[in-house]
Amino acid sequence: MTNPARHVVTPSLFDGYHRTTMTDADLVRAVLGGDDGAFTTLVDRHSRMCLRYATRMLGNEQDAEDVTQDAFVRAYRALGRFDASAEFRTWLMTILINRCRSAAGSRARRDGMLVRDDDVTASVAANGDDGATRDAIERALARLEPKQREAFLLKHIEELSYEEMRDATGVGVSALKMRVQRACERLQQLLEDDRNA
Amino acid sequence: MRDLDTGRMSPELARTVRRLRRAPGVSDDWRRRTLAAIAAAGRPHRGVEWRVRPWMAIAAGLSCVALGASLFAVATPRHARVGEAVRATTAPLVHFTFDAPQARSVSLVGDFNAWRAGVLPLRRSADGRTWTVEVPLLPGRYAYSFVVDGSIAPDPAAPRATGDDFGTPSSVVLVRGS
Amino acid sequence: MFAAIAAVAAVAIPASTYGQGRVVSAAARDSVTAIADSLRAAGLPADPVLAKMAEGELKGADDQRILRAVRSLAHELRAAREALTESASPGTIVAAASAVHVGVRIDDVRALARRHLVRDADLAGALITLADLVANGVPAADAVQAIGSLVAQGVSERDLDGLRAGVAQDVRGGQPPGLALRTRARALSPRAVAPLDDR
């Protein structure tokens, strides 16, 4: 059995500190220049946000973990095609949004319906929440149409601008604003109904 | 059309948004599996830089789904440099080997990748007899098996995992800290 | 080589296709999550039970079997925690749980952890070797005595692993497990195995 050629990489105590001060664009350039540890920093920097979006979108922590992992691997492999003058976060979100859409589509084909209420688990940590409130929110979110849920999460939870959302989803700004507004109205109604139930 | 920003939301909806903004923690296990999957992926190639056009990204994603393509299914050559760099920041590389000259595909499943077949493919040696993969693993004890042409097989050279193996024995690797 | 391995596998190990993999029900997943949460709250590693569930899914086990395996593992992790010192790492706790699972007594795990001032990393390796020996049919008392003695003498991890692999090979070749251990352990250290009439 042959051993793969070893490139000596001397770990430096300062490498970790240095990378945390680098911008996303600098980190991408570093990865393309051969410093793969820089991608670890990108993962650490963006994983919470990605997991949050995927969990809210899919309503299931395990699916969210799978999809987010997949998105990071695809981003790593496609890094050479990323324009470093663009926002890495938006680009990563584009990939993640795609993966979530695919996962939801696969689950729909498997389960026969787009959303199952009993797939919405209470597994996402939300400090200080009581379980009942968290469940009500997740139930309401799951009952939104996927396009509305997607737009709502990107706008109000991930706090993307409408231009960033347009770039990430391929949907026009007017349509996105409509979806966000309808999502808010619907969520409001669902939360009221839940409270009154 | 006016968009509804948080300031104009009802108090209940605004509370909902604040709660939803609280991000979940990232488990060590997820992080470890993700970095291992990245380390097993092919190195990014510096290609023509183009600004992402959403329709291109979506079309690419849909075509991947349609073709059933998977980033993990192909046993791509491992790049030691990727593993080394990941190790420099995270975990030692652990070398897995399986002798199977007749096999068409071998992949590694275990506690470190949630037992997902195809995520960690082994690559065949030059003489075609041996399959290998290197995986960065944090110190700890992991149960694992190989999936050889669809059949699960333990590592004949490793200790056996104890506990319910659901009818198919697994093996154990102990990764030591430095 | 593959033909030889396949021959061994055909005799000893039933082949299993992963194509029958499945996903547990939401209720089962919730149960496993609750068990994981309670382990975490007790300062115990929770990932092993989640991994056990994933393993069961890959191997096509039904919900009840998976839940039984998860509950059993959780129970063994708690037992292992009580037997080990406070500085035991998660890997050592899991290794101790595996020894408990095959029948090593808690008191023996406790003695191994405390009496010989063994380093945590070495203890984990010793516990894995111990569990494998007993899983291969070596009487637990013999295995405990031999491993304890070898660890106290500072036998290397490589030698311990060689002992384990050698005993496994001898057992596959038809030797009685206890005899296989005695022979191999004595080769490493004459003091490793007590004479029969001293036990």
Are A141 and B19 inside 8 Å of each other by CB? no
Can you tell me the mean pLDDT for A166-172?
92
CA dihedral A190, A194, A195, A197 (to 10 degrees): 130
More confident residue, B112 or A76: A76
pLDDT by residue (tens digit) across A101-159? 988 877 766 665 433 333 333 333 333 345 565 588 888 999 999 999 999 999 999 98
Residue stretches of chain C with pLDDT short of 50:
1-19, 197-199
pLDDT by residue (tens digit) across C46-100? 888 988 999 999 998 999 999 999 999 999 999 999 999 888 888 899 999 999 9
Confidence of residue A10 (pLDDT cuts 50, 70, 90): very low
* DSSP state for residue B41 in the 8-state scheme: S
A108 CB within 8 Å of a chain B CB = no
pLDDT by residue (tens digit) across A65-89? 999 999 999 999 999 888 877 889 9
Residue A110, pLDDT score:
64
Nearest residue in A to C22, CA atom: A110
Instruction: Please tell me the distance from the alpha carbon of residue B27 to that of residue A188, in angstroms, as a whole number.
Output: 32
Percentage of chain A modeled with pLDDT above 70: 76
Does the structure show a pLDDT above 80 at A163? yes
Nearest residue in B to C74, CA atom: B163
Instruction: Say which residues have a Cβ less than 8 Å from residue B139's Cβ, sequence separation at least 6.
Output: B91, B92, B175, B176, B177, C89, C91, C121
Distance from CA of A124 to the nearest CA of B (A): 6
Instruction: Please tell me the distance from the alpha carbon of residue C83 to that of residue C114, in angstroms, as a whole number.
Output: 9
Alpha helices in chain C (DSSP H): 2-12, 26-41, 47-58, 63-83, 90-102, 106-115, 120-135, 140-152, 157-172, 177-188
Are C58 and B117 inside 8 Å of each other by CB? yes
Tell which residue, B92, B87, B85, has the closest CA to residue B178: B92
* DSSP state for residue B24 in the 8-state scheme: P
Angle at Cα C64 formed by Cα C62 and Cα C70, nearest 5°?
A: 105
Does the structure show a pLDDT above 90 at B90? no
Are B16 and A191 inside 8 Å of each other by CB? yes
Distance from CA of A7 to the nearest CA of B (A): 6
Q: Which of A58, A61, A123 to mutate to test the interface with C (most CBs of C within 10 A)?
A: A123
Can you tell me the mean pLDDT for A14-25?
60
**A 124-143 residues inside an 8 A Cβ radius of B:** 124-127, 129, 133-134, 137, 140-141
CA C62 to chain centre: 24
Which secondary structure element, helix H or strand E, spans residue B136, and what is its range?
Answer: strand B130-136
Strand order in the sheet with B123-124: B93-99, B130-136, B123-124
Residue A171, pLDDT score:
93
Instruction: Please tell me the distance from the alpha carbon of residue C155 to that of residue C147, in angstroms, as a whole number.
Output: 9
Are C30 and A121 inside 8 Å of each other by CB? yes
- The first and second tokens of residue A35, run together, are 């410093």
Distances (CA, A) of B96 to B159, B169, B175: 14, 17, 12
More confident residue, C6 or A171: A171
Residue A184, pLDDT score:
95
Contacts of C30 in chain A (CB under 8 A): 121
- The first and second tokens of residue C130, run together, are 């111990």
Residue C20, pLDDT score:
52
- The first and second tokens of residue C39, run together, are 């382990």
Residue A16, pLDDT score:
47
* DSSP state for residue B160 in the 8-state scheme: B
Q: Contact at 8 Å (CB) between B113 and B37?
A: yes
* DSSP state for residue C121 in the 8-state scheme: H
B120 CB within 8 Å of a chain C CB = no
A69-73, B56-60, B156-160, C150-154 — which is least confidently predicted?
B56-60
Contacts of B94 in chain C (CB under 8 A): none
Burial of B11 (0-12, 13-18, 19+ CB in 10 A): exposed
Can you tell me the mean pLDDT for B114-129?
86
Contacts of A121 in chain C (CB under 8 A): 26, 29-30, 33
Nearest residue in C to B178, CA atom: C121
Distance from CA of B25 to the nearest CA of C (A): 14
Q: Contact at 8 Å (CB) between B96 and B158?
A: no
Residue C194, pLDDT score:
62
Q: Which of A61, A62, A117 to mutate to test the interface with C (most CBs of C within 10 A)?
A: A62
Residue B5, pLDDT score:
58
Residue C8, pLDDT score:
34
Residue C85, pLDDT score:
83
Give chain A as a DSSP string.
Answer: -PPPPPPP----HHHHHHHHTS-HHHHHHHHHTT-THHHHHHHHHHHHHHHHHHHHHHS-HHHHHHHHHHHHHHHHHTGGG--TTS-HHHHHHHHHHHHHHHHHHHHHHHHSSS--GGG--S-S--TT--HHHHHHHHHHHHHS-HHHHHHHIIIIIS---HHHHHHHH---HHHHHHHHHHHHHHHHHHHHHHHH-
Q: Which of C59, C76, C123 to mutate to test the interface with B (most CBs of B within 10 A)?
A: C59
Three-state secondary structure call for residue B140: strand
The half-sphere exposure of A187 on its side-chain side, counting CA atoms within 13 A, is: 30
- The answer, yes or no, to whether ipTM is higher than 0.85 is no
Give A48-76 as a DSSP string.
Answer: HHHHHHHHHHHS-HHHHHHHHHHHHHHHH
Distance from CA of C27 to the nearest CA of A (A): 9
More confident residue, B26 or B170: B170
Are C3 and B102 inside 8 Å of each other by CB? yes
Does the structure show a pLDDT above 50 at B88? no
Tell which residue, C160, C154, C153, has the closest CA to residue C131: C160
More confident residue, B87 or B91: B91
Distance from CA of C66 to the nearest CA of B (A): 8
Instruction: Please tell me the distance from the alpha carbon of residue A163 to that of residue A140, in angstroms, as a whole number.
Output: 27
At residue B34, what is the residue type?
A: T
Residue B27, pLDDT score:
84
More confident residue, B56 or C143: C143
Instruction: Please tell me the distance from the alpha carbon of residue A120 to that of residue A187, in angstroms, as a whole number.
Output: 16
At residue C34, what is the residue type?
A: A
Are C59 and B152 inside 8 Å of each other by CB? yes
Q: Which of B152, B172, B178 to mutate to test the interface with C (most CBs of C within 10 A)?
A: B152
More confident residue, B55 or A98: A98
- Strand B130-136 versus strand B93-99 pairing type: antiparallel
Instruction: Please tell me the distance from the alpha carbon of residue B107 to that of residue B95, in angstroms, as a whole number.
Output: 13
